[in-house]
A and B are shown apart, each in its own frame.
Chain A
Amino acid sequence: MKQDLNCAAARERFALLLYGELGFDEEERVESHLDGCAECRAGLAREKAMHAAFDNVEVAPSPALLRECREDLFALLADEAAPAPARAGWWEKFVDALTLRPSAGLLRPAGALTLVALGFAAARMIPTANLSPQFGAASMTPGASRVRYVEPAANGRVQIVLDETRQRIVSGGLDDQQIRGLLLAAAKDPSDPGLRAETVEILNTRAQSADVRDALMFAVQHDANAGVRMRALEGLKPFAAQPEVRTALTQVLLSDANPGLRTQAIDLLTGGGQQINREVDRQLIGTLQELMLRGEQLGYVRERCRRVLESMNASAETY
């Protein structure tokens, strides 16, 4: 029986506890100490707050940097001599021979013979072997696949649902419905900001279409990456006078975390000095006054709001 921990020993283990890196017994001892010590529970809460604060300094590389890195690397590789081929040992050669890979060379006939012999032996030894043809096909399919779902079936067998992707190249004009559909889906792909940025840039050339504009408005308001939002804003510039685009821009102005985007939204909403109608004026004044009222620490954005309100002969405050 191990001794109970004292406060100092328990606190020393907080970080590892939060990272889930304590062994079962150690974790039990800390938990047991925490049960009876309010001071350490408060200490653990502080440790959790510190962990949460660490998350705020993580930096996500911009899509532009990722794209630049990829382009530079692939350009370098194009100039690079082909890498030395893998020099396989006897075991690898044997496995290659069994899988009939070309690298097996002269061993391929021997491999084929071995496979036939193995198949014969297996058929004799496992009379009930009854793999479904789909599984056989799926396991040999090249491309990415992942297990989506597993379920025990009768007779101790397992049913596995695989998600499979195969690479396929499609090409066509932007007016092609299939191409358009793929691009609109790629613009929302949560896994790859670089892909979204490139897609949005392509879609920007067709922003006169309502479906593309909808995708751009979605991106400018909801994309997690500021670079993608910035590109979507570029595509919407020529349509800044349209009511639904103005609604999206107002949302950017009010809630985007990036001051650059907010400033651009002000420019677009004020029409770059162009005449805008009185109804639009009133809405814009309301939005700008709301921003001023919030008193946020975005000095430059705030200053721009104040100047625009002044130019409209409007007060910086609401009464």
Chain B
Amino acid sequence: MALKAGLQMDETALIRAAQDGDHAAFEQLVRAYDQSVLRLAMNLLRSPEDAHDVYQEAFLRVYRNLHSFRFDCSFHTWLYRIVTNLCLDHMRKRKVRKEEPTVLATAEGPMDRMDAVPEDRVDGDPQRHLFSGQVRQRIKAVLGQLTPRERMVFELRHYQGLRLRKIGEVLGTTEEAAKNCLFRATQKMRAALGDFV
């Protein structure tokens, strides 16, 4: 709690400085949050181009509207509200238009765009490598079948580690609604992955 308070104190000073037009302070705010923003957008949209667009749009909105930020909630919540809204818009448009599939047809067969992103994990066991590859493909497919809200709640809880109460705040809903969403998402994942795990 004390640690959080310490960080909060500095963040408040940074935000106030940025509100007064201090570019360096704004840049510091961006650098403090942009990796997690980009990771969130990348995982949800599975397209570096879309993630780039969301990143730009989100921080531009923050810059333009920072004067209206009155510390009613944490800066993190406010920023994530903007980012998640932009991502949800992207995902809904994609659902409607059925455009930009993450799996592309290539001469060598179907290829997931995100497979071009270097993978960091080392897995020396070839059998396990093959098996985990199949599981990965299945998980990606199921994630694509979740509704945008289910996908968002799952992403925020599992990958971003946000508590359901915070997710509710970010998405402008209740903790209970976020819990139901997460429940539906995990049910669908379990049904689809049952024979793999």
Which residues of chain A have a CB within 8 Å of any CB of chain B? Answer: 12, 15-16, 19, 21, 46-47, 49-51, 53-54, 56-62, 65-66, 68-70, 72-74, 76-77, 80, 82-87, 92, 103, 139, 142-147, 150, 160, 162, 167, 192, 194, 224-227, 230, 255-258, 260, 294-297
B136, CB-defined interface residue at 8 Å: yes
Which residues of the partner chain A approach B70 to less than 8 Å between Cβ atoms?
92
Contact A62 B163 (CB under 8 A): no
A316 to chain B: closest CB distance in Å? 17
Q: Could you pull out 26 A-B pairs where Cβ atoms are within 8 angstroms?
A: A19-B157, A21-B179, A49-B197, A53-B132, A54-B139, A56-B121, A56-B132, A56-B135, A57-B140, A59-B39, A59-B42, A59-B114, A60-B39, A61-B35, A68-B52, A69-B38, A76-B56, A77-B63, A80-B64, A85-B20, A86-B67, A87-B67, A225-B120, A226-B120, A255-B124, A257-B119
- A83 to B68: give the CA distance in the assembly, Å: 10
Contact B183 A16 (CB under 8 A): yes
Contact B120 A224 (CB under 8 A): yes
Residue of A nearest to B6 (CB): A147
B191 to chain A: closest CB distance in Å? 11
Which residues of the partner chain A approach B140 to less than 8 Å between Cβ atoms?
57
Residue of B nearest to A146 (CB): B6
Which residues of the partner chain B approach A62 to less than 8 Å between Cβ atoms?
48, 117-118
B85, CB-defined interface residue at 8 Å: no
Contact B64 A257 (CB under 8 A): no
Which residues of the partner chain A approach B10 to less than 8 Å between Cβ atoms?
142-145
- A300 to B132: give the CA distance in the assembly, Å: 20
- A160 to B189: give the CA distance in the assembly, Å: 46
> Given A57-B140, A62-B117 in contact, is the A295-B126 Cβ separation under 8 Å?
yes
- A73 to B56: give the CA distance in the assembly, Å: 6
Contact A57 B48 (CB under 8 A): no
Which residues of the partner chain A approach B21 to less than 8 Å between Cβ atoms?
82-83, 85
Mask for B25-53, Cβ within 8 A of A = 1, else 0? Answer: 01110110011001100110010100110
A295 to chain B: closest CB distance in Å? 6
Which residues of the partner chain A approach B56 to less than 8 Å between Cβ atoms?
69, 72-73, 76
A189 to chain B: closest CB distance in Å? 13
Known A15-B186, A54-B139; further 10 A-B contacts with Cβ < 8 A? A16-B182, A53-B132, A60-B117, A61-B42, A62-B118, A77-B60, A226-B118, A226-B119, A226-B120, A256-B122
B143, CB-defined interface residue at 8 Å: yes
- A84 to B67: give the CA distance in the assembly, Å: 6
A271 to chain B: closest CB distance in Å? 25
B177, CB-defined interface residue at 8 Å: no
Which residues of the partner chain B approach A69 to less than 8 Å between Cβ atoms?
34, 38, 52, 55-56
Contact B59 A73 (CB under 8 A): yes
7 nearest A-B residue pairs (beta carbon): A226-B118, A15-B186, A86-B19, A86-B67, A49-B197, A147-B6, A69-B55
- A74 to B63: give the CA distance in the assembly, Å: 11
> Given A46-B197, A86-B20 in contact, is the A76-B60 Cβ separation under 8 Å?
yes
- A225 to B39: give the CA distance in the assembly, Å: 14
B126 to chain A: closest CB distance in Å? 5
Mask for B176-197, Cβ within 8 A of A = 1, else 0? Answer: 0001001100100110010011
Contact B35 A192 (CB under 8 A): yes
Contact B118 A258 (CB under 8 A): yes
- A66 to B59: give the CA distance in the assembly, Å: 13
B36 to chain A: closest CB distance in Å? 10
Taking a contact as CB atoms closer than 8 A, the residue among B28, B46, B65, B189 that contacts A59 in the complex is B46
Contact B193 A58 (CB under 8 A): no
Contact A257 B121 (CB under 8 A): yes
A303 to chain B: closest CB distance in Å? 14
- A296 to B46: give the CA distance in the assembly, Å: 27
B112 to chain A: closest CB distance in Å? 10
B72, CB-defined interface residue at 8 Å: no
